[in-house]
């Protein structure tokens, strides 16, 4: 039987005492990389190295050493196809200082042939740790007008999780911190799953949902009651921050005192379901406030910005995302939970390349939590934002006459680019994937095609009311090239002819006036794009 081994050797006993080493020995796979995911998506952003090469010998091997100062959740992902398909191996780890774990598997063996030995193995057996990546079973109920079917499945899954945990505790006698973390994770499983489903389901049938909103809320309240009862939560988490009164159906409807402790629970922090719940709550609550601001802007602005004034209205209109999420976190959370969510907010701003007000948010965070472990990791990012925000529009950032607002068809764009090879980026200042690609790939594209005759055309869509942000980001990302502020007719004509409906969309205009859609998705495969552009440049 062929196996793949991950071996980590520590040279100093003092270092070994605080480090964690994981040795993998996994057979019969073509994968060459194991991806390490620390805790949750936010934690992984600040951790640094996340991918480890697996040696290509008969027993593919790689050495992984961690240095966590406290017990930490992590996951190892091994995928032969580089994505998250049927052959993906996903293993959740619970790593404590001093752990020395050997994880073996064989993809051709029954049950993947999983075995775990070594110090810390009692916390990492396959019964709870191995998770095949499958689409959540609840998704088939999206569109339901009442919660009956989905909550039945969710409750059943939680009972199965509790049974699996009880079996695990009897069989392996894991450590006390592991037991506590697992119990919290299972306890929050149903609420987290239901809340995420409910919020996604709202948009599938707004009128049927609205007619039955009380039913959806009663189920949610019962899940909150169950957690509060099972965990015997206190009436208040913080004497300095009383439970907020709220009239929405987001999560906190008519939930004073004890139920408030369900979402502001520092003991549960670090468990995947609780972390997911509070992160989703912040995002969904911002969506709720934005929706309410459309119908009653004076009430929302007065409640969240202190007054119904011109300055308050301007502050909301200028940034109804980043600062508003900060305000939501400050209102509903305290202590380590508030610290975690504020740091997560900065991480999300960075990931989505949406720098508006992040410097002031970071400075307030640093003042509020000066000793936070998250202050230092984001210092260099904040410095880069400060530097980029100094950039100004230059003569190399050319705006089409009238910002191109009179252009109505793709044919007019082709005429504008006659005789040139042009890379066209259909983007928007509001579009997170657009900004992410500009930040991640923009400089590399410009460097690769420097002095090779490639021209750049950036067509901003749905940005006619965001001209300030549009021009600000052009300077921020140093988007040298020609810029067009598309009217709705131009956007529709181009996207219809390209047979695309989402942004960003990329295409290449050739010297002969023909065009070619980028042969990839919005994540942008740089190598694939380079080959297409190089082929277009090579045309006579």
Q: How far apart are CA 235 and CA 87, in angstroms?
A: 47
Q: How far apart are CA 299 and CA 301, in angstroms?
A: 6
Closest CA relative to residue 475, chosen from 454, 458, 453: 458
Closest CA relative to residue 250, chosen from 205, 283, 226: 283
Q: How far apart are CA 386 and CA 380, in angstroms?
A: 10
425 and 524 fall within a common domain: yes
Domain for residue 513, yes or no? yes
Q: Is 229 exposed, middle or buried (0-12, 13-18, 19+ CB in 10 A)?
A: exposed
Phi-psi region of 28 (alpha: psi -120 to 50; beta: other; left: phi over 0): left
191 and 102 fall within a common domain: no
Q: How far apart are CA 16 and CA 9, in angstroms?
A: 9
User: Which of 203, 232, 261 is at the close of a domain?
Assistant: 232
User: Which of 232, 251, 275 is at the close of a domain?
Assistant: 232
User: Which of 209, 232, 255 is at the close of a domain?
Assistant: 232
105 and 168 fall within a common domain: no
Backbone angles phi, psi at 288, to 5 degrees: -60, -45
How distant, in Å, are the alpha carbons of 194, 328, 331 from that of 341? 21, 10, 12
CATH number of the structural domain spanning residue 466: 3.40.30.10
CA 304 to chain centre: 25
Q: How far apart are CA 194 and CA 220, in angstroms?
A: 7
Average pLDDT of the chain is: 85
105 and 209 fall within a common domain: no
Q: Judge whether residue 6 has pLDDT over 50.
A: no
Q: How far apart are CA 100 and CA 536, in angstroms?
A: 53
Q: Judge whether residue 425 has pLDDT over 60.
A: yes
Domain for residue 343, yes or no? no
Confidence label for 86 from pLDDT (cuts 50, 70 and 90): low
pLDDT for the residue numbered 216 = 92
Q: Judge whether residue 266 has pLDDT over 60.
A: yes
The more confidently predicted of residues 402 and 524 is 402
The number of distinct structural domains making up the chain is 3
Q: Judge whether residue 22 has pLDDT over 90.
A: no
Domain for residue 362, yes or no? no
- Cβ atoms of 323 and 345 closer than 8 Å: no
Crossing angle between the packed helical segments 322-332 and 358-368, to the nearest 10 degrees = 20
pLDDT for the residue numbered 373 = 86
Backbone angles phi, psi at 22, to 5 degrees: -125, 120
Per-position DSSP letters for 318-378, written without gaps between them = H-SSHHHHHHHHHHH--HHHHHHHHHHHHHHHHHTT--TTHHHHHHHHHHH-TT-TTTGGG
20 and 116 fall within a common domain: yes
pLDDT for the residue numbered 160 = 94
Domain for residue 6, yes or no? no
DSSP strands (E only) in 98-191 = 100-106, 115-119
70 and 156 fall within a common domain: no
Q: How far apart are CA 185 and CA 79, in angstroms?
A: 26
Domain for residue 502, yes or no? yes
Confidence label for 179 from pLDDT (cuts 50, 70 and 90): very high
Confidence label for 73 from pLDDT (cuts 50, 70 and 90): confident
Q: Judge whether residue 52 has pLDDT over 80.
A: no
Residue corresponding to tokens 């019969």: 28
Q: What integer is the mean pLDDT of 31-45?
A: 66
Q: What integer is the mean pLDDT of 28-52?
A: 66
Bridge partners of 454, per DSSP, are: 421
How distant, in Å, are the alpha carbons of 28, 31, 132, 169, 518 from that of 60? 9, 9, 21, 33, 36
Q: Judge whether residue 16 has pLDDT over 60.
A: no
Closest CA relative to residue 221, chosen from 254, 266, 181, 264: 254
Lowest mean pLDDT: which of 66-80, 91-105, 464-478? 66-80
Q: How far apart are CA 18 and CA 9, in angstroms?
A: 14
pLDDT for the residue numbered 233 = 81
Q: Domain residues for 93?
A: 13-129
Answer whether the bond into residue 504 is a cis peptide, omega within 30°: yes
407 and 507 fall within a common domain: yes
Domain for residue 326, yes or no? no
Global pTM value: 0.87
Confidence label for 106 from pLDDT (cuts 50, 70 and 90): confident
Q: Judge whether residue 479 has pLDDT over 50.
A: yes
17 and 75 fall within a common domain: yes
pLDDT for the residue numbered 45 = 56
Q: How far apart are CA 159 and CA 156, in angstroms?
A: 5
Lowest mean pLDDT: which of 174-178, 242-246, 367-371? 242-246
According to DSSP, residue 83 is labeled: S
CA 413 to chain centre: 35
69 and 177 fall within a common domain: no
Domain for residue 509, yes or no? yes
- Cβ atoms of 385 and 355 closer than 8 Å: yes
Domain for residue 392, yes or no? no
CATH number of the structural domain spanning residue 40: 2.60.40.1120
Q: What integer is the mean pLDDT of 51-77?
A: 74
407 and 522 fall within a common domain: yes
Lowest mean pLDDT: which of 51-65, 148-162, 288-302? 51-65
Q: What integer is the mean pLDDT of 354-373?
A: 96
Q: How far apart are CA 182 and CA 188, in angstroms?
A: 10
Residue 187's CB is within 10 A of a number of other CB atoms, namely 23
417 and 469 fall within a common domain: yes
pLDDT > 70: what percent of the chain? 85
92 and 222 fall within a common domain: no
């Amino acid at each position: 039987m062929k196996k793949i081994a991950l071996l980590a050797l520590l040279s100093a006993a003092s270092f070994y005492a605080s480090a964690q080493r994981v040795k993998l020995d996994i057979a019969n796979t073509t994968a060459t990389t194991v991806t390490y995911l620390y805790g949750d998506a936010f934690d992984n952003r600040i951790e640094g190295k996340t991918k480890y090469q697996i040696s290509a010998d008969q027993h593919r091997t790689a050495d992984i050493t961690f240095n966590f100062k406290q017990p930490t959740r992590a996951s190892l992902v091994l995928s032969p196809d580089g994505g998250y398909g049927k052959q993906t191996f996903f293993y959740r780890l619970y790593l404590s200082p001093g752990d020395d774990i050997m994880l073996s598997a064989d993809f051709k063996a029954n049950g993947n042939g999983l075995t775990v030995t070594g110090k810390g193995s009692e916390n990492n057996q396959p019964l709870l740790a191995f998770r095949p990546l499958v689409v959540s079973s609840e998704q088939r109920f999206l569109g339901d007008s009442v919660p009956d079917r989905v909550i039945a499945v969710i409750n059943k899954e939680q009972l199965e999780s509790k049974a699996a945990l009880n079996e695990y505790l009897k069989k392996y006698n894991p450590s006390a911190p592991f037991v506590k973390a697992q119990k919290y994770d299972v306890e929050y499983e149903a609420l987290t799953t239901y809340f995420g489903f409910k919020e996604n389901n709202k948009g599938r049938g707004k009128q049927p949902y609205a007619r039955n909103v009380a039913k959806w809320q009663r189920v949610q309240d019962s899940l909150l009651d169950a957690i509060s009862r099972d965990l015997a939560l206190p009436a208040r988490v913080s004497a300095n921050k009383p439970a907020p009164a709220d009239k929405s159906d987001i999560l906190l409807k008519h939930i004073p005192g004890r139920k408030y402790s369900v979402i502001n629970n520092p003991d549960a922090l670090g468990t995947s379901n609780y972390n997911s719940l509070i992160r989703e709550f912040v995002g969904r609550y911002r969506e709720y406030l934005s929706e309410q601001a459309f119908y009653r802007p004076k009430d929302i602005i007065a409640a969240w910005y202190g007054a119904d004034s011109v300055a308050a209205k301007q502050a909301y209109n200028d940034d109804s995302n980043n600062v508003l999420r900060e305000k939501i976190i400050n209102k509903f959370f305290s202590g380590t939970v508030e610290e975690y969510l504020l740091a997560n907010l900065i991480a999300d701003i960075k990931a989505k390349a949406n720098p508006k007000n992040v410097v002031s948010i970071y400075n307030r965070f640093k003042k509020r939590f000066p000793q936070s472990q998250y202050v230092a990791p984001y210092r260099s990012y904040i410095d880069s934002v400060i530097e980029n925000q100094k950039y100004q529009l230059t003569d190399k950032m050319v705006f089409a006459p009238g910002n191109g607002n009179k252009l109505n068809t793709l044919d007019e764009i082709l005429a504008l680019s006659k005789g040139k090879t042009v890379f066209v980026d259909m983007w928007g200042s509001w579009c997170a994937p657009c900004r992410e690609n500009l930040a991640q790939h923009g400089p590399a594209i410009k460097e690769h095609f420097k002095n090779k005759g490639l021209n750049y055309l950036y067509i901003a869509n749905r940005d006619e009311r965001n001209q300030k942000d549009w021009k600000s980001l052009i300077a921020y990302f140093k988007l040298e090239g020609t810029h067009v502020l598309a009217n709705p007719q131009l956007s529709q004509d181009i996207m219809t002819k390209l047979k695309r409906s989402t942004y960003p969309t990329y295409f290449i205009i050739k010297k002969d006036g023909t065009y070619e859609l980028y042969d990839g998705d919005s994540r942008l495969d740089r190598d694939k794009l380079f080959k297409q552009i190089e082929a277009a440049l090579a045309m006579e």
